[in-house]
Homo-oligomer: A and B are copies of this chain.
Amino acid sequence: MSTGPAGPVVSGGPLAIIAGAGDFPPQLADLAAGSGRRVFVAALEGAADPAAFGALDLQSYRLGQLGRLLEELRRREITDLVMIGSLPRPSFAALRPEASTLKYLPHFARAFRGGDDHLLRGVVEFFEGQGFSVHGPAEIAPRITAPAGPLGRKAASAAQREIIAEGFRLLAALSPFDVGQAAILADHRVIAIEAAEGTDAMIRRVGELVASGRLRIAKGDGVLVKAPKDEQDLRVDMPAIGPDTLRNVAAAGLSGIGLRAGRVLIGDAVGLGQLADKSGLFVEGVAP
């Protein structure tokens, strides 16, 4: 997947991309390399697809090969890191650490005891403790996040922008409870709020309520809103949408998507804009 000519990218020395699953890692790698930055991809086995990174310099690592990865980064004099892509929460037992990784285990044993946020923070703290700088994808390539304004031809109406604003207020009110990256509103009513089920399951739920006749949503009404929590660490845990999100939103009979500009990963902006047009949806980035 290509994202066209590279947008503004933080310039700097060589960059390591620790890559999980999905389209975002190769998209970010393309944008960073396209800006002239030397890129080294550390593809996590069982998650990242090495073939998606084309001719980029790449090596694959198991999680238990952390010691080997650190040695490679030091040999290459790389100090800037970015972590991107999804990774199923590993079991501690499945790490199968190599000898060079054993000494780091106590740190991760502690990190494993908390929730996902805690684990991610533990990974960031580990790399920082080893002298690396951990960057967010948006610092490396702002274009990988939602821009302000409409992504396709269709823009949100004044009424739809008001629904989006109400949705952002709702998500902000939920932030202290460490929940609520997404919600669906219609006709000034809150239709669905995401918690453990995830965004796609929430959208499908609304589609099923509409299909069964238990819920009516007027044309041009229902809107998905998505934004990070107030305290979310955008370096390692940024909300995201993709083609499937747009397909689900269209299938559920909603009219569009409102996103916090610069704070939600979208990956291929051109492709998503075209899909929005084809689906008759607006996808609107709203500056904080």
Residues of A within 8 A of B (CB): 115, 166, 169-170, 173-174, 176-180, 183-184, 187, 189-193, 195-197, 201, 205-206, 209, 214-215
Contact = CB atoms under 8 A, between A and B. Distances in A.
A23 to B, nearest CB: 22
Interface centre among A177, A206, A209 (most CB of B within 10 A): A177
Contact of A189 (B173, B183, B189, B196): B196
A281 to B, nearest CB: 20
A209 B193 contact: no
A190 B173 contact: no
Q: How many copies of this protein are present in the complex?
A: 2
Contacts of A173: 173-174, 176-177
A196 B183 CA distance: 12
Contacts of A214: 196
Given A115-B189, A189-B115, A197 B177 contact: no
By DSSP majority rule, is chain A's interface helix, strand, loop, or mixed? Answer: mixed
8 contacts: A173-B173, A174-B193, A183-B195, A189-B196, A190-B195, A192-B197, A193-B195, A196-B206
Contacts of A184: 195
A192 B192 contact: no
A196 B174 contact: no
Given A177-B190, A179-B189, A190-B196, 14 more contacts: A170-B174, A170-B179, A173-B174, A178-B189, A179-B193, A180-B193, A184-B195, A190-B195, A191-B196, A192-B196, A193-B195, A196-B206, A196-B215, A197-B205
Contacts of A192: 195-197
A183 B174 CA distance: 12
A191 B178 CA distance: 11
Contact of A177 (B170, B195, B209): B170
Contacts of A177: 166, 169-170, 173, 190
A206 B195 CA distance: 10
Contacts of A209: 196-197
A180 B209 CA distance: 17
Contacts of A176: 173
Nearest to A208: B197
Contact of A179 (B179, B187, B190, B197): B190
A215 to B, nearest CB: 5
A115 B191 CA distance: 13
Nearest to A196: B191
Contacts of A178: 189-190
A196 B178 CA distance: 21
A187 B113 CA distance: 12
Contacts of A191: 195-196
Most B C-beta atoms less than 10 A away, residue of A173, A176, A196: A196
